Structure 1
């Protein structure tokens, strides 16, 4: 189909609309990390509730993004994109008025459904509409601007949460979404695959959605009821069976939503493996940094959001440039160096212990965040361009859906698995510290019962002020122990992503892209 130059008026309108719509979805992911303490206090949510608030959204993204990309290719990318925006802003409005935790989780799922239709639509519109020799630059521009807005989310979220207005994190999506729809409706042409087969894979969609939901539920139940429980066994077992069933369905379906033939291209497979490992580390790292800053280190929520500014500046400066370099020289070197640097940044952050609060930021969290931001700035645009460039044009929506689904699946598993691990690490550290406390057996049991709250754990109100201070210090030390272990695992995942580039990604597979 006909494409347009990036610098043309149609090209600019495509970029503006896709950036605005995508930014809404990404803002919600990062802003919530910062405002979780306010939501927890306002709605009296438990630690498990917090992970479900994040995972309800990510789960629907992961489960439905594949079919979202496929729908765009087969029914019209602009049409599905607009439908996703409408659902997303509707879910946002409902989240903003939710009166309890259960409703908020349900409405976050509705947001996720909208995001699943919306996010792959943005990249498939760019890939199918912008001239091929400028796609890396276009994706770099998209990456830079969406990341700026994404990292700006914690700053905005922190300011609103400190003022008691955390609900406005959801309401702000409404005017942005309406503006994006207006641009798409009036300025952007429809884009649809030229393939004659427009049949949808409903059975595959059910299998992947059910499998991911069951596996995530199983991991989220572990902190509350332990691993040796029938609910965990049953949920994980059903999830694994459904995920294998999904692979079988896609292998035998005449109309697969995820054509397995795409994975015969080792560069496409390697880029998606890289995405999975890197974004699992990214999701866990950013979540636990935010919780650590607010719950343990004494930052308010605005200060917590401001700590990610170095990340933002590096993305602004380097993401588009990295996309241009990938267009010119190929992505392999950048996709090896970038994830390795990002993993090193997460490793640096794992050595931060108890600090003196915001006054010590530049000698504690700042160096690791700069290294982490540098690595991600070199990675994001080349990675996306590689995924989109390794397949033919009529699979652009499907490829975008697969890659975005994997990044969200990585986030789901990171939050579920790392959340369970964090509770186990926290509990283990707490058990070592409690014998040294001058408390009765019943008081020690009461202290242990708070383990599921992680950094938000509070000492029993029946203790003296001096004993409460001792327990609080033990809680903080135990959380930092868990945080450090999670960050080291996250760093290792970044390095594992770099290894995927070395093993699988070849520049020739992107530069020789078939029409």
Structure 2
């Protein structure tokens, strides 16, 4: 049976099991299920940003090189991105409850092992394991929500789920700064152990396994190998492109390999009985639009947020904790707006909230492109809050559009697709906006340096200075006279902000494109069926 036949058959059959009856007791209770999976998801979302604060302390304590520290982040990101869709398929096959609990146990155990590690090699190894177990956990959480909640309550549940992810992601630098500054870098990882134990106990007591009648019974091994290899080549090229150069043979080679592997994957999916991703899924315009929208949203958000941390810490001279506190308007607005977005999407459908959210995101990005070296806290807070307001409905709505427009038996794959789209978008945004930022700095630094009447630099010195300026760090050598050092600081900050402004302008344009894509979305088929149904 081809993938097209499989999906067409699924579309003729009831896509969901009957709406779950009101739960009696703990097992399978929708809101308790949401609470349980939210704790597990919080661990993974936090680790996406909290570890960045700990990296300098890890480098000092373990004597790691810059490349080693980069691998602490890259190893986790690669393992997560490569495994998400396959992990979602495992949930569809063996049950999302089982894969969620395995993910929780593995993630917490790997976190504890990192805290006990005495070498950077062990830290990197266990970070990769963290990513693999995190990949099991994230799609399973969405699959459990999809199976547990009646359709008319699903958007609210995903809204709270999105709130947890948004708050954890944005709150990571704050918590990480406090722990590293007042405890140790190991505490950043040890904190996951008690959280994991709580999530495990709640999961065992509360979570109920749901299996679609036509759930997959076999595995597409060739598809798994091809898709994992393609994702690895793509993400690796995006990670290393800035270091190698975007025209370098290695970067081009990995990107070309990714294209070939994705093409081979598509061919295989059309020929196997139970494909990893039935390509006929993408004949659903709303599902395809939701996936593209998630990529574009993550491109603008994660790519833009990358510069904000350097701007706050290196231009404004804030400590990590202070920088995190300045991002509280973004975090707080996502916490407030995500459940409200779920209500709006339930009542009016996703299209208008999604378009409005991306318009708000675009306005915020264009606003942040006007930030200067002297911009005050109030102005920054306005743009950060508007960004949070725009992101909330997109995080909720695009997730529901992807998961809700997929057949029930593919809910895990759809959840993996949603998370993979975020990872690809975030990596792409960081890479592309980083390249734009670097090009602007390279184009302006020499002229700005000369205009400030600073001593001329050799080509090698200019290259070294440019590397520092790209993260907002003034290349002031020891013993530099105070007046000269002041000029270098001024040139550095002005050049960095100019590059950052250009990057935010591009992010704003991407957000406008995303708003146009959002016009193609609509409510998932399961939600359409549930409008007007009973309540929990």
Question: How many angstroms does 1:187 deviate by?
Answer: 2.3
Q: Deviations over 1:238-289 (max 9, x none)?
A: 2222222222222333221111111111111111111110111111112211
User: Which residue of structure 1 aligns with residue 432 of structure 2?
Assistant: 417
Alpha-carbon distance in 1 for matches of 2:133, 2:385: 33
1:404 correspondence with 2:419: yes
- Structure-2 change in CA distance of 1:108 and 1:6 (3 Å): farther
2:360 pairs, out of 323, 341, 360, with 341
**SS in structure 2 opposite 1:252?**
coil
Structure-to-structure mapping, 1:173-192, within 5 angstroms: 173-192=192-211
User: Which residue of structure 2 aligns with residue 140 of structure 1?
Assistant: 159
Alpha-carbon distance in 2 for matches of 1:351, 1:373: 18
Deviates more, 1:156-165 or 1:490-499: 156-165
Structure-to-structure mapping, 1:475-514, within 5 angstroms: 475-502=492-519, 504-507=520-523, 511-512=527-528
Instruction: Decide whether the 8 Å contact of 1:66 with 1:401 is kept in 2.
Output: yes
Deviates more, 1:164-173 or 1:271-280: 164-173
Instruction: Decide whether the 8 Å contact of 1:92 with 1:170 is kept in 2.
Output: yes
Deviates more, 1:37-46 or 1:104-113: 37-46
Tell me how large the CA RMSD over aligned residues is: 2.7
Alpha-carbon distance in 2 for matches of 1:462, 1:447: 17
Alpha-carbon distance in 1 for matches of 2:485, 2:125: 36
**SS in structure 1 opposite 2:185?**
coil
1:369 pairs, out of 381, 384, 406, with 384
Instruction: Decide whether the 8 Å contact of 1:275 with 1:403 is kept in 2.
Output: yes
1:459 correspondence with 2:475: yes
Instruction: Decide whether the 8 Å contact of 1:51 with 1:415 is kept in 2.
Output: no
Q: Name the count of aligned residue pairs.
A: 508
Alpha-carbon distance in 1 for matches of 2:63, 2:446: 26
Q: Deviations over 1:167-221 (max 9, x none)?
A: 3222211111111111112222222232253212222222222222223333443
**SS in structure 1 opposite 2:390?**
helix
Question: How many angstroms does 1:456 deviate by?
Answer: 5.9
Structure-to-structure mapping, 1:438-457, within 5 angstroms: 438-442=454-458, 445-453=460-468, 454-455=470-471, 457=473
**SS in structure 2 opposite 1:438?**
coil
- Structure-2 change in CA distance of 1:219 and 1:69 (3 Å): closer
Q: Deviations over 1:70-129 (max 9, x none)?
A: 110111111111111222223322333455655544433221111111000101101011
- Structure-2 change in CA distance of 1:508 and 1:104 (3 Å): closer
Instruction: Decide whether the 8 Å contact of 1:271 with 1:386 is kept in 2.
Output: yes
TM superposition score normalised by structure 1? 0.90
Alpha-carbon distance in 2 for matches of 1:94, 1:450: 38
User: Which residue of structure 1 aligns with residue 7 of structure 2?
Assistant: none
Question: How many angstroms does 1:423 deviate by?
Answer: 3.0
1:202 correspondence with 2:217: no
1:303 correspondence with 2:322: yes
- Structure-2 change in CA distance of 1:269 and 1:304 (3 Å): same
Deviates more, 1:166-175 or 1:1-10: 1-10
1:427 pairs, out of 417, 435, 442, with 442
Instruction: Decide whether the 8 Å contact of 2:302 with 2:430 is kept in 1.
Output: yes
User: Which residue of structure 2 aligns with residue 474 of structure 1?
Assistant: 491
2:178 pairs, out of 114, 135, 159, with 159
- Structure-2 change in CA distance of 1:6 and 1:273 (3 Å): farther
Instruction: Decide whether the 8 Å contact of 1:77 with 1:124 is kept in 2.
Output: yes
Alpha-carbon distance in 1 for matches of 2:316, 2:57: 16
Alpha-carbon distance in 1 for matches of 2:169, 2:431: 22
Question: How many angstroms does 1:54 deviate by?
Answer: 3.5
1:393 pairs, out of 408, 417, 426, with 408
TM superposition score normalised by structure 2? 0.87
Alpha-carbon distance in 2 for matches of 1:151, 1:26: 9
Instruction: Decide whether the 8 Å contact of 1:222 with 1:232 is kept in 2.
Output: yes
Deviates more, 1:38-47 or 1:210-219: 38-47
Structure 1 alignment gaps of length 5 or more: none
Deviates more, 1:397-406 or 1:307-316: 307-316
Instruction: Decide whether the 8 Å contact of 1:332 with 1:505 is kept in 2.
Output: yes
Alpha-carbon distance in 2 for matches of 1:47, 1:421: 23
Alpha-carbon distance in 2 for matches of 1:216, 1:385: 25
Deviates more, 1:56-65 or 1:90-99: 90-99
User: Which residue of structure 2 aligns with residue 13 of structure 1?
Assistant: 32
Instruction: Decide whether the 8 Å contact of 1:211 with 1:242 is kept in 2.
Output: yes
- Structure-2 change in CA distance of 1:48 and 1:279 (3 Å): farther
1:277 correspondence with 2:296: yes
Alpha-carbon distance in 1 for matches of 2:488, 2:61: 24
